[in-house]
Every structure is written in C-alpha cells, then in structure tokens.
Amino acid sequence: MLMQELIGHHEYYNDLNERVARQDEKLKKLIDSHSYAQLLMSIPGVGTLTAAQCLSDIPNVNEFKNGRHFFGKWIVALRAKKPFNVAVVALANQLVRIAWSVLKTQQAFEIRV
C-alpha cells in the first residue's frame, strides 16, 4: 500500500516536471522572438525569466522619464509583495536602471572597462 502511494507521488512529480518544462519552452519561444527581451538578456545576469518578468512590468518604457523613475514605481509594487531587503533592493536598483536604459535606447548592454 505504501509503495503504491509512493509510486503515485513519483508519477505526479514527473508529470509536474514535464508540465513545467513545456511552459518553460513556451516562454523561451516567446522571449526569443521579442526584440526587447533580447536587449534585456544582453545584461549580465538577465535570463529568460527575468526578461519576461521585466517586460510584463514595463508595458511601455516611454512611461518612465529615466531609470530612477522606473525603479521607484517598480519598488512600490515589489514592496507590496515581498519583505524589505536592503541588499536585494540595492542590486535591483542598479539592474532595473540598466534595464530601463537598454529598453529606452534600444541598444544592447555593453560592458565598459
């Protein structure tokens, strides 16, 4: 009886993994065909999920006059969902401002040394 239950849980786990993989593939196809997503992914550390989240949060980059303005609106929405963490917010601030700049100028991110 226990073995049957474990087998059932294992099958359910495998099914969930397959469903997640299918959703990941759909998201990847969508992001691969989106020019703004490609610009965002030129930023080190930004992958498919981050680009998708950023694009869902920024329907129109021209609504924000600069990266700081975008960060201000983004952080208000984030604070409504998540507990405050200074280190994460500081990092997010920089990343969001870079994302705004990449989208606004429609130029891929370049590392300058």
10-residue stretch averages of pLDDT, the chain, 113 residues long: 92 96 93 90 86 82 84 75 68 82 88 66
DSSP 43: S
Provide the pLDDT for residue 90.
64
Provide the pLDDT for residue 80.
76
Count Cβ atoms below 10 Å from residue 66 Cβ, excluding itself. 12
What pLDDT digit, counting tens, does each position of 22-48 carry?
A: 999 999 998 999 998 999 899 888 888
State whether residue 34 is helix, strand or coil. Answer: coil
**Identity of the amino acid at 34:** H
Question: How many Å apart are CA 80 and CA 55, to the nearest integer?
Answer: 19
Provide the pLDDT for residue 8.
94
Provide the pLDDT for residue 61.
82
State whether residue 108 is helix, strand or coil. Answer: coil
State the pTM of this model.
Answer: 0.65
